[in-house]
Amino acid sequence: MPDLGKYALEVLSAYGVSLVLIVGIVLLSVARSRRVRAELEAVEARRQRNG
Amino acid sequence: MIALLARDLRLAVRAGGGFGLGLSFFLIVVVLVPFGVGPETGLLSRIAPGVLWVAALLACLLSLDRIFALDYEDGSLDLLATSPLPLEGAAAVKALAHWLTTGLPLVLAAPVLALLMNLPWQGYAPLMLSLLLGTPALSVIGAFGAALTVGIKRGGLLLSLLVLPLYVPTLIFGADVARRGAEGQDFTTPLMMLAGISFGALALLPFASAAVLRVNLR
Amino acid sequence: MASLWEYANPLKFMRTTERILPAVSALAALCLVGGLVWGFFFTPDDFRQGSTVKIFYIHVPSAMMAVNIWVMMLVTSLVWIIRRHHVSALAARAAAPIGAVMTVIALFTGAVWGQPMWGTWWAWDPRLTSFLILFLFYLGYIALWAAIEDDDTAADLTSVLCLVGSVFALLSRYAVNFWNQGLHQGASLSLDKEENVADVFWYPALVCIAGFILLFVALVIVRTNTEIRARRMRALLARERGADA
């Protein structure tokens, strides 16, 4: 851990919040991608069965 | 076009919404400000130009959704789109009608409210001038926003969210003219910029509004 | 050499992008982790700003992305209006929330840096104010997409909003400059002015910028493909309902 001096709180919170936001949007995007992919496969399968 | 304008004006007067509501809203916002910041005259006269501009802008926003919504619902917008009058022209006339029923009364009422806010006397002419030049821009920009949201049920809130950021440059230059005027400074530069924005918006935005209306009528 | 327009075909776009996605994501992760770790652990403090200089490894790339993503949305909106390629409109839709997040990151890191350096969390400085306005534009754009049911109508309307919004965003930028000359320093990290910044800060910052760009590309690929699938699903469901009726 580097010595951040008197600004440790500022630097750490900047990194923390930014990382949380980035990870958040990545997770949201991936989750939605998974869900939509699964739903689409279900719909496609139903269509194949019903002709 | 004149017939359309006359019809819109008649409807606005008959519905009573245009004149009355916008003006009373303007009045109420301006009256509320001293309650919020305190009755000190010096402070009030310093913030008067900005407060009057923001209040006028909000009052303008209030009646925007009526520009196209009623005509969209009863189908007369479809008639307008198929009429020989280009839709661009119709959009411009609608914005003009909105300005005549909302913007112009605000300009005329501004001096009275400026009295309440202790605006220095040399600030009256610049305030009126800036509002006169700026409110048409507010109306055409607002008409564009109204055209965007015309197909959306309860689009009023969305309309504000879309239109308010677009109002920023007009507000900055308009309020700056009024502020400099009130402080007795030279206000030529912001006045030129304000006029540029207004005329640019007047010239170009009706095309955007018409394009958007066509999409919504498809 | 295949023409760029071939990727207007959603299937081809999806197939190609999903092939390169793992590589892009891996590179993005590598650059981001590498750049941030390098910047955070292995760079000296600035003699005036102390350790807060480390915030810039996030602040500068996110601010660059916030603006550039809007430009990308403008380009894809134009492509949609002129050539009617669905992938283009959906890419703009996919990019907007990423742009909004980047704006928030830039604003937050800026505020946290400004507190000790300027002595205030927030100043109505031209750059800060422009970013706040940009954030409002992103919000409006996203809200308009969300509010309209029909995909093509939504694509058309948001594209026009993006065009008009770009003009007004530029106007606001100049208006705000005029309104208040600020305390923000000029862009000290542009490519042609690199002598402004010492190499120790410059190299990790470059890696971080590359990381943010790659992260954006990877996210746009994922999100665009999601939108393509969602759109196809809505079309299929509509057809099913039509067949039932």
Q: What is the pLDDT of residues C61-107, one digit of tens each?
A: 999 999 999 999 999 999 999 988 889 999 999 999 999 999 999 99
pLDDT, chain B, mean: 87
The mean per-residue pLDDT over the stretch B84-110 comes to 88
Parent domain of B43: 2-217
Residues A10, C97: C-beta atoms closer than 8 Å? no
At B48-67, the pLDDT tens digits run 999 999 999 999 888 888 88
Taking any CB pair shorter than 8 Å as contact, residues of chain A touching chain C are 2-8, 10-11, 13-15, 17-18, 21-22, 24-26, 29-30, 32-33, 36-37, 39-40, 43-44, 46-47
Q: Is C149 on the interface with B (CB under 8 A)?
A: no
Parent domain of C228: 23-240
The mean per-residue pLDDT over the stretch B188-213 comes to 92
Residues B176, C179: C-beta atoms closer than 8 Å? yes
Q: Do chains B and A touch (3 or more CB pairs under 8 A)?
A: no
Domain membership of residue C6 (yes or no) is: no
The mean per-residue pLDDT over the stretch B78-85 comes to 82
Residues B168, C168: C-beta atoms closer than 8 Å? yes
Structural domain count of chain C: 1
Q: Is B196 on the interface with C (CB under 8 A)?
A: no
In this model, does residue B12 exceed pLDDT 80? no
The per-residue pLDDT for C188 is 46
Which residue did the predictor score with more confidence, B80 or B130? Answer: B130
SS3 C50: strand
The per-residue pLDDT for A1 is 59
Domain membership of residue C17 (yes or no) is: no
The per-residue pLDDT for C193 is 39
Kindly give, in sequence order, each residue whose CB lies less than 8 Å from that of residue A5, ignoring residues fewer than 6 positions away.
C45, C50, C51
Q: Which chains touch B (3 or more CB pairs under 8 A)?
A: C
In this model, does residue B15 exceed pLDDT 80? no
Q: How far is B198 from chain C (nearest CA, A)?
A: 12
The per-residue pLDDT for B14 is 65
The per-residue pLDDT for B78 is 84
Low-confidence residues of chain C: pLDDT under 70: 1-3, 46-49, 181-199, 244-245
Question: Bridge-partner residues for C46, per DSSP?
Answer: C50
Question: Bridge-partner residues for C50, per DSSP?
Answer: C46
In this model, does residue B27 exceed pLDDT 70? yes
Tokens of B120: 């220095």
The per-residue pLDDT for C194 is 42
Listed residue (C169, C158, C18, C165) closest to C80, CA to CA: C158
The per-residue pLDDT for A35 is 93
**Whether ipTM exceeds 0.95:** no
The per-residue pLDDT for C75 is 95
Q: Which of B91-95, B144-148, B158-162, C112-116 has the lowest mean pLDDT?
A: C112-116
Partners of residue C144 in chain B, C-beta under 8 Å: 148-149, 158, 162
Kindly state the greatest CA–CA separation across chain C. Answer: 73
Contact between residue B4 and residue B89 where contact means Cβ atoms under 8 Å apart: no
Interface of C with A in 58-87 (CB under 8 A): 58-59, 62
Which residue did the predictor score with more confidence, B137 or B23? Answer: B137
Residues C165, B190: C-beta atoms closer than 8 Å? no
Q: How far is A2 from chain C (nearest CA, A)?
A: 6
Using CB atoms, which residue from C55, C219, C232 is nearest to A11?
C55
The per-residue pLDDT for C189 is 42
Domain membership of residue C14 (yes or no) is: no
Structural domain count of chain B: 1
The per-residue pLDDT for C119 is 74
Residues C58, A15: C-beta atoms closer than 8 Å? yes
Which residue did the predictor score with more confidence, C187 or A27? Answer: A27
Helices (H), chain C: 10-41, 56-83, 86-118, 126-147, 151-179, 199-244
* Phi–psi pair at C50, nearest 5 degrees: 65, -145
Confidence bin at B19 (pLDDT 50/70/90): low
